[in-house]
Structure 1
Amino acid sequence: MPTETWTPAADRADLALPKRSLWQAVKRGFACRCPACGKGRLFRAYIKPVATCEACGEDLSHQRADDAPPYFTIVVVGHVVVPAILYVETHYKPDVYLQLLVWLPLTLILSLVLLQPIKGAVIGWQWAYYMHGFNPLGADDEDRTHRPVAEGDVG
């Protein structure tokens, strides 16, 4: 009795999905626009994404950005602010209170300004790679519901 070999849905030609441009989707997301069309708004509030795009109807409710945007924001802001602090400290040696007056508000403002675009870029990345619910074939790029069971195969 021949056994059918199970292959992930992503490797099956009959279920191939069209390739999406990662950089275009990330740029559109960073601009707070729909990663699919680039026209509709991506956010209904500061960091609350819309459920569907008002322009093209793309379902965006599947996004799972979770902790990635704050993490990337911290990385970006840290790589901007820390070298600036070190440069000013080594070249000018200002008083501590002046340092606090400059760097704390700058860090807060940069974090608040960058959080939304970075979250949009993460959503664009997820959309471009068919991650989570953006994949019509299944949640993890594999159609496990139709996995044939070979003889002697357990689980």
Structure 2
Amino acid sequence: MHTDSTSDDTDNDASQRAVRPALFRGWRRKCPRCGQGPLLKGYLAVADTCPVCKLDYSHHRADDGPAYLTILLVGHLMAPLLHFAFVKWRPEPLVLFTIFAVGCVALSLYLLPRLKGAIVGFQWARGMGGFAQNG
């Protein structure tokens, strides 16, 4: 089924769904299809369905992906900063540890639900799992 519509909001064909808007909507923790309803019902728990467009989220399989991506990003951002701060200013070890421990925890807590939303959005856009038939 091919449609001439450029909008992915109402298109049920998984091959026609745009990935970038779905990723952005998921990053914002909104429904990947309509962008209005909340994707998460808690900090990391995915809702059962979208209250706006009724998209069934039960097909998502984010599993450990968001955690792995969070570790990857935080590690690649904080390690060079740690090295730079140590070489440039030579702070006391306890001060350096405290600042970077708080920074790593804060960045991880910020990224984790957003990456989970982006992964669910990607799965929806690519029609992975049951998302190909529904939504």
Instruction: Give the superposition deviation at 1:68.
Output: 0.4
Which of 18, 26, 29 in structure 1 is aligned with 2:26? 29
1:78 aligns with 2:75: yes
Deviations 1:86-135 (A, max 9, x none): 11011111111011110011101110111000000000000000001112
**Unaligned segments of structure 1, at least 5 residues:** 1-15, 138-155
User: Identity of aligned pairs, percent?
Assistant: 37
1:122 aligns with 2:116: no
Which residue is 1:153 aligned to?
none
**Unaligned segments of structure 2, at least 5 residues:** 1-12
Which contiguous aligned blocks of 4+ residues in structure 1 show a shift greater than 4 angstroms?
none
Aligned residues: 122
Q: Secondary structure at the match of 1:51?
A: coil
Length-normalised TM-score, structure 2: 0.87
Q: Which has the higher helix share?
A: 2
Which residue is 2:56 aligned to?
59
- Separation (CA, whole Å) in 2 of partners of 1:136 and 1:49: 19
Amino acid at match of 1:59: D
Length-normalised TM-score, structure 1: 0.76
Aligned pairs for 1:5-154 within 5 A: 17-136=14-133
